[in-house]
Amino acid sequence: MTSKPWLDLYPAEISKTLDYERIPLQEFLTRSGKKYPEKTAMHFMGKDITYKEFHESSLKFADYLKSIGIIKGDRVAIMLPNCPQNAIAFFGILYAGAIVVQTNPLYTEREVAYQMADSGAKAIITLDILFPRVSKVIKKTELEHLIITGIKDYLPFPKNLIYPFIQKKEHGVTVKIEHRGMNHLFTEIMKTAKAAPSNEEFDYDEDIAILQYTGGTTGPPKGVMLTHANLISNVKMCDEWLYECKEGEETVMGILPFFHVYGMTTVLILSVMLANKMVLIPKFDFETALKTIDKQKPTLFPGAPTIYIGLLNHPEVGKYDLSSIKACISGSAALPVEVQEKFEKVTGGKLVEGYGLTETSPVTHANFLWATERQKGSIGVPWPDTDACILGPDSTEPLPNGEIGEIVVKGPQVMKGYWNRPEDTENTFREGWLLTGDLGYMDDKGYFYVVDRKKDMIIASGFNIYPREIEEVLYEHESIQECIVAGIPDAYRGETVKAYIVLKEGATVTEEELNKYCRENLAAFKVPRLYEFRKELPKTSVGKILRRTLVDEEKKKVAKEPLPS
């Protein structure tokens, strides 16, 4: 336990410690469905879904899962963009007593196969256009059931009739699936299943609600076990931080994907807990976002710096009314002060930086939204009931203020551990402290600052990208002798992925060929944007490639480049 000097900074509206209800996460939907049955829960491309419809649909989904043999503790994957089916399935899986496995719909066959096999998922819900991809990996997994839906399933008339033609034009594919065998149609489930109450036994502290996959430079992606207690505590902390917001009266911009832990907590779970309206955007583009803000008038807008920068730099931003926005917490990457100030000037709302990681559900720190004092460059202070300090290598004693070390945290939002990886779990904790892998310091007031990543993870446009995963794909290419991947500074994306390549003697390969190869084996956001061919890579005396040397070279190149205005 530390002295927690940051507590003296808390405004009177934020409690230093909170009470957490020992309830299952899905109880939030049960309550909102009963208390606000006719209130809009989700707006999706012109269609509104009420909390009553949302609640009943989730109960139907749970009923159907049980009817096909899903039992308590089974893993069920969701591989969908932000759409009503995603939210319905999320709570339906929990009502059935199962565990949600969030899966990025941009994943390639290879990535889907790994995550399904590692989690042991028995069922997956995905889009019709992704059905061919998922079908090809079944034999490598324990999947027994594929639940198929389409964007058109929740579109209003006549969009639901027009959309299949748009989809065919965009993706060049039309998929027809029958409701039989291991294939199940979501529309048929909603017609036939019963909205029966769920009475699963429940352990608040131990039951896992979600397996959220993260990765690292030292091994394959790991499933982070987040319990009901972890998620309930973090969403309650978020509610406390947003003290000017009111239950049942806010509209939340749903740009952050639910398959990302930040979007899942701050958009999906928080909205359901408070009976707020979610405005869901399945495929993000800046013009659509601006039009949606202008029309739907969101008041809360969780996001990432890339999103805010892109909106501000859109040539027609002045045409749209963004004044409804009153609070935004930015995550995933450092928030430039210039962006913060310009966004607040354009919207009249507040934009502050927060901090967290998948292993903490995810938020541990944030700046105050409505406080007059601001610390430039700070990630803020720990949230209620969250402890943090700076540790040196192999130490359990906090370093003095201002001294750089590893940021470590404790709190009720900290994960149970990694799925089937006890050794990795043990190595991530030190005397009860979760090691974040980020280097930083705390000032005398209690504000924290991140100065570098201990790990080499890349954060580009809010996506977590792990160099080793890309390097493993590149090393499988017949022409490559050595390679290393690094995140280099990018004014728009925060960081961008660059691959440094040494070819085998006599081998030839072009950037275009490597790009095509990577796109076949990696999700689009992981594919290197830049390639540099070298005769050799910088190394230590024992032959270890010096990634940091390459990154420092890139930083020197862009040091004098101005930030976007």
| Any domain includes 170 | yes
Number of folded domains that form the chain: 3
Mark whether 474 and 526 lie in a shared domain: yes
Residue 58 lies in a domain: yes
User: Residue 3: inside a domain, yes or no?
Assistant: no
Write down the pLDDT at residue 540. 56
Query: What is the domain range of residue 110?
Result: 27-37+46-201
Residue 70 belongs to some domain of the structure: yes
The answer to whether residues 179 and 31 belong to one domain is: yes
The pTM of the full predicted model, rounded to 2 decimals, is 0.86
Judgement on whether residues 75 and 168 belong to the same structural domain of the protein: yes
Domain boundary among 167, 183, 201: 201
| DSSP result, 290-319 | HHHHHHH--SB--B-HHHHHHHHT-TTGGG
Instruction: Please say which residue of 201, 226, 250 terminates a domain.
Output: 201
The verdict on 489 and 442 lying in the same domain is no
Tell me what pLDDT residue 552 has.
86
- Same-domain pairing of 425 and 491: no
Residue ending a domain, among 453, 481, 499, is 453
Same domain? For 173 and 125 the reply is: yes
User: Of the candidates 240, 203, 275, which has an alpha carbon nearest to the alpha carbon of residue 12?
Assistant: 240
User: Please, are residues 529 and 499 in contact by the beta-carbon 8 Å criterion?
Assistant: no
Q: Could you tell me if 77 and 125 are in contact, meaning their C-beta atoms sit under 8 angstroms apart? A: yes
Q: Is residue 169 part of a domain?
A: yes
Low-confidence ranges of the chain (pLDDT < 70): 215-219, 452-453, 455, 540-544, 560-565
CATH number at 392 reads 2.30.38.10
Residue 3 and residue 446: Cα distance in Å, rounded? 10
pLDDT of residue 215: 58
Residue 402 lies in a domain: yes
Answer yes or no: do 87 and 169 share one domain: yes
What tokens appear for 45 in the block? 């491309």
| End-to-end Cα, the chain, rounded Å | 43
Q: Is residue 469 domain-shared with residue 432, that is, in the same domain?
A: no
Q: Would you call the peptide bond into 158 cis, given omega within 30 degrees of 0 as the criterion?
A: yes
CB 414 within 8 A of CB 38: no
Strand 387-391 relative to strand 429-430, pairing:
unpaired
Residue 409 shares a structural domain with residue 549: no
